[in-house]
Amino acid sequence: MVERLRPVVEAHRGRRQAPVRFRPATWHPWLEPYGVAHVLGLGAMDATSMSGDRAISRDDLAVARQALGDDPEGLRDLFVAVMIWGAGIANGRGPRYTSVALGDARLPHVLEATCSAVRVGELTRAYNEFSVRGVGRSFFTKWFATVDDRDAECERALILDDRVFRSLNALGWSSKEAAGTRR
């Protein structure tokens, strides 16, 4: 598998993902009841948008990770930023699912526990412990990748969303063979 991935990685080396557009007006009613609408100010105004769209990048998430800290409110705000970045304007369910997650009493504990696990390299434990209503693998692995502040030389948390799964499967990779389980 590594031999098949190496040319793909080399072909894309140095590429950076463009910032993701989002529409604050769409998100605001879903975030306001939880006191996290201030997160909508992250990123930059999208000068090309007539709808007041903003754009948030991976770099914006890294800056937010450093600025927000590891207290429960800081982790919650960073989680909301990750959900916004992950959904953009293409995933209309993002605001609703984020609201569901914010209403789950387990969220503060899960964010703290999984953040700690990721930062010490216990990715399997983080994966097994993430259980919050409204958030599936495609989004909680984005959370893992964002909170992973370890040196780039180690095995860092990667995003394992449906696009990545489809790409890996097209190359003949099997999660069951790789991990010994379908999870």
CA atoms of 118 and 63, how far apart (whole Å): 18
Q: 49-75 in b/e burial notation, b at 16+ Cβ within 10 A?
A: eeeebbbbbeebbeebbeebeeeeeeb
User: Percentage of the chain with pLDDT > 70?
Assistant: 95
Question: How far is the CA of 176 from the CAs of 103, 165, 172, 183, in angstroms?
Answer: 33, 12, 12, 8
**Res 149: pLDDT:** 84
**Res 46: pLDDT:** 84
- Following CA atoms 20, 8, 165, 117 in sequence, which dihedral angle do they give, to the nearest 10 degrees? -70
Exposure on the CB side of residue 37, measured as CA atoms within 13 A: 12
Q: Per-residue confidence at 168, pLDDT binned at 50, 70, 90?
A: confident
Residue 39: pLDDT over 80: yes
Is the separation of the CB atoms in 120 and 130 below 8 Å? no
Closest CA to 46 of 25, 27, 20, 26: 20
**Res 2: pLDDT:** 63
User: Percentage of the chain with pLDDT > 90?
Assistant: 55
The pTM is what?
0.86
- Tell me whether residue 154 is exposed, middle or buried, using C-beta atoms within 10 angstroms of its C-beta: 0 to 12, 13 to 18, 19 or more: exposed
CA atoms of 52 and 35, how far apart (whole Å): 21
pLDDT in tens, 149-167: 887 766 777 777 778 778 7
Site of tokens 């995003």: 159
